[in-house]
């Protein structure tokens, strides 16, 4: 019971922090550049959602995610890299796929 509460609080904190970062970036930097990055993120949101088992809703100035804490951490990293650091989401998606494949192989070895 307590672990579920801790996970839900952690998920809410991650979502709130991510929303704060996106809002901050939107007001500090050029809006056109920001909107281009959001469109790039929207194009790969379905792949990210499939890999992380999270539901993702991307608006013009917000990203809302619902899922487990591990998936939320991954989504947060992808969104931060895309919007704040101009890294295309495709690079992160490849890396996530490789990590998941490695994890599956390690699970099979045991």
CATH number (domain holding residue 21):
3.30.1370.10
Q: Is the pLDDT of residue 97 over 80?
A: yes
Q: Give whole-number Cα distances, 68 to 2, 14, 21, 74, in Å.
A: 15, 11, 20, 10
Structure confidence by residue, pLDDT tens digits, 30-87: 677 778 888 888 989 999 999 988 898 888 778 888 888 888 889 989 988 888 888 8
Confidence label for 93 from pLDDT (cuts 50, 70 and 90): very high
Number of structural domains (the chain) is: 1
pTM as predicted: 0.69
- CB–CB of 96/74 below 8 Å? yes
The domain containing residue 51 runs over which residues? 2-109
């Amino acid at each position: 019971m307590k672990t579920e509460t801790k996970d839900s609080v952690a998920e809410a904190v991650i979502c709130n922090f991510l929303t704060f970062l996106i809002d901050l970036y939107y007001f500090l930097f050029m809006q056109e550049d920001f909107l281009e990055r959001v469109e790039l993120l929207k194009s790969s949101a379905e792949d990210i959602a499939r890999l992380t088992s999270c539901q993702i809703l991307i608006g013009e100035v917000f990203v809302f995610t619902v899922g487990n804490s591990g998936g939320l951490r991954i989504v947060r990293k992808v969104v931060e890299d895309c919007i704040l650091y101009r890294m295309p989401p495709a690079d992160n998606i490849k890396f996530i796929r490789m990590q998941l494949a490695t994890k599956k192989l390690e699970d099979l070895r045991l």
